[in-house]
Amino acid sequence: MKQRLRFYTSRALHSGRTSPSARFSSDVFIWTNIALWLIIAAIIFRGYAFGTGDQAEQLPPVLRLLDSSYLTRDWFVNSTQGFGPRTFYSHFVALPSRLIGVEAAFALLHFVCWGLFAWGIARLTVLLLPIKEDKPARFFAAVVAVWMFLAWEKRLTGANSWLSNSLTPAEIANMMSIWAIVFWLKGQRITAALVVLVAGGIHPLIGPLGGLTLAFASWWNERGTTSDAKAETPSTPIPLSSWLILCASIAIPLIAGYLGDRGGTILTPEQKKQAIYILAFERHPWHYVPWAWGGNPWIVWGLLITLGIWGRRENGSVRLLDGFALVSIGFSLLGWVSILWQPLWPLVKLQPFRMTIWLELATFFYLALFLGRRLARPEAEQRFSVALWLWVSIFAAQNVVSTPRLLLSVALLVVSEIALKRTKSALWVQMALMLPLIFLGRGGGTRLLLWLYAVPFAALIGGAWALYQPRIRALVAPLSLLGAALITVVLLAPIAKIRSARGKIFSGFNYSQPFIGSMGEIARWSESNTPTNSLFLLAPTEGDFRLSAQRAIVVNFKTFAWGDKGLLDWRQKMSEVTGNVPLILGNNFNAELNDKYNALSQQQIEVLQRKYKFDYVVVEAQKNLNWPLAFSTKNWKVYKAP
């Protein structure tokens, strides 16, 4: 059997005119793209995960750029116009939207972002993995790294995800940081700095912070290399000019963002302090205040860090990843100090807790490298343990809100690792440990095959096997080209039937104005029965109404004009529509906001109408006003303002 594997390996890696290393690089590229196409197919099948809150925040400014008459009475849309550091993204998306439509432009951007992200993660894994002799293991680790980010997206604490909100400026900037790292490690320093600069244009804070993380991690890596000639990630000294260019690419967006946030209005120190308080303690406490996270996220982070340390212990140190972890921990500590000590409150605007995403990056890479090295082991038990680790991580990702199931996952891995060292029946022990996962939780049994998380798993298993099969590998390139051609036709072809199919696909992506939630009937009625320039007052949690009804609203909780002045204006409006009460929100903040809004009296609503001149007010069905009733549903009533 071993001789047969060697024969297949030799033929697979040495057939053709290309060198073995070039051929393997092609294999990694091709198979990563196959996994990516499968992922994209699953996303289209399930519908896009672009949350409605993100739609309400990202789409209206773009739609205004495409149509100057769109929501002319809406405060949020009016305050996010012009060209500057905070509006560059809207102009960036509006360009292709003018050519192919908003939905197609967002779909194309979505595919490109996911493709570049998956490819960048794969390339970075290959660059970091210390195993140079076992090429299938390197491939395996590359795809596992992509899969790790996919399976655990939007599951962690203190930061937005890399993938779930992949069309928001912050997440696009994070993805671009991955390619900045790749270019930097390959010695293409100017290209890396330019990528950081463009990422800063997309998001003037997250892009530069990604560049700062890259700079620190690279310095940490180079520091270890110069002091240890046997370091596993050797590198040549980085010239001073490269550091200066990188520093400039970090500083320019930060300065532009600071000036843009300050705007033309000069605020007093007390107003600035108030704006920061609103940002950290009222609007986004789950991003900035660790004690607002609840208990379970801490357990998840503890488990992930423990697993990362476990993998690091078996792998050995990769100093670049250690640098990512250190800078992430440092920013987290900065966040704690800046929240607790009022003189440092201005540092809160750096959003230090978002930087925990780099600790996530280091942890996932360590796990991917750990599993890649395991796959290269000659012992069957060691190789099979990789399957158990993957299966457990699928289960854990699906059941992340359940502390008992998370602890069960860790217990299974601990028992498996003990079995590897102490019994000759380790393989059977590991197979038996998989059984509980089949019957427990959302991630077990045949239902798992319906989930996105199983798709890359199947792709990487098939890809790893095909690396040893030259005949099958020969089909990879044609199939990849065929898949790319089909995607292009579906996205761009003007044929009527294809256009109809494309419309059905895009409707599943929820880009435009879906009639969803309890406000769906109200939105449908409003779009058909009210003037397009109408202004509505409604519960501040119902920001989706702006898109679904295509009508202006007074204010909502999710969306606000960034900047100190924008924060103060938003807080003033929120205070008025919630009865001028303190806006200190807990975990169940949606219900709290609705309760405060529904507690408004007739007199308070009349005061608001005189100030904001809204045409309609939406209140809960149990509430009665002395105004003409325009429409009602089981949950809501719409009154016409006099």
* The token pair that represents 8 in the structure block: 């297949």
Please list, in sequence order, all residues whose beta carbon lies within 8 angstroms of the beta carbon of residue 498, skipping any fewer than 6 positions away.
489, 490
* The token pair that represents 104 in the structure block: 């197609």
- Name the CA dihedral angle for 130, 136, 137, 141, rounded to a multiple of 10 degrees: 100
Question: Which pLDDT score is estimated for 194?
Answer: 92
* The token pair that represents 270 in the structure block: 């007390």
Asked whether the predicted pLDDT for residue 629 surpasses 60, the reply is yes
pLDDT, tens digit (0-9, with 9 covering 90-100), for 268-288: 777 777 777 777 777 767 667
pLDDT, tens digit (0-9, with 9 covering 90-100), for 498-552: 666 655 555 545 555 555 567 888 888 998 899 999 999 998 888 888 888 889 9
Question: Which pLDDT score is estimated for 622?
Answer: 87
More confident residue, 188 or 40: 188
Asked whether the predicted pLDDT for residue 24 surpasses 50, the reply is no
Which residue in this structure is represented by tokens 């019957």? 439
- 640 phi/psi in degrees, rounded to 5: -90, 125
How much is the pTM? 0.75
Question: Which pLDDT score is estimated for 333?
Answer: 81
CA angle (422, 425, 430) in 5-degree steps: 95
Question: Which pLDDT score is estimated for 231?
Answer: 46
Q: Where are the alpha helices (DSSP H) in 530-635?
A: 545-548, 564-577, 589-598, 602-612
% the chain with pLDDT above 70: 64
Q: In what order do the strands lie in the sheet with 535-537?
A: 552-553, 535-537, 616-620, 636-640, 629-632
Identify the three-state secondary structure at position 211: helix
The DSSP bridge pattern shows strands 636-640 and 616-620 to be antiparallel
- Name the CA dihedral angle for 311, 314, 319, 324, rounded to a multiple of 10 degrees: 10
Domain ranges of the chain: 38-81+514-642, 92-276+312-375, 470-507
How far apart, in Å, are the Cα atoms of 178 and each of 167, 257, 324?
16, 22, 12
Spatial distance between the Cα atoms of 244 and 215, rounded to a whole number of angstroms: 11
Asked whether the predicted pLDDT for residue 29 surpasses 60, the reply is no
- Confidence tier at 640 by pLDDT (50, 70, 90): very high
CA angle (588, 592, 598) in 5-degree steps: 150
Question: Which pLDDT score is estimated for 439?
Answer: 61
CA-based max dimension of the chain? 88
Backbone region of residue 579 per phi and psi (left: phi > 0; alpha: psi in -120 to 50; beta: other values): left
Mean pLDDT of 224-229: 55
Q: Cβ(33)–Cβ(119) under 8 Å?
A: yes
The number of C-alpha atoms within 13 Å of 187 and in the hemisphere containing its C-beta is: 4
The length of the chain is 642
Question: Which pLDDT score is estimated for 599?
Answer: 85
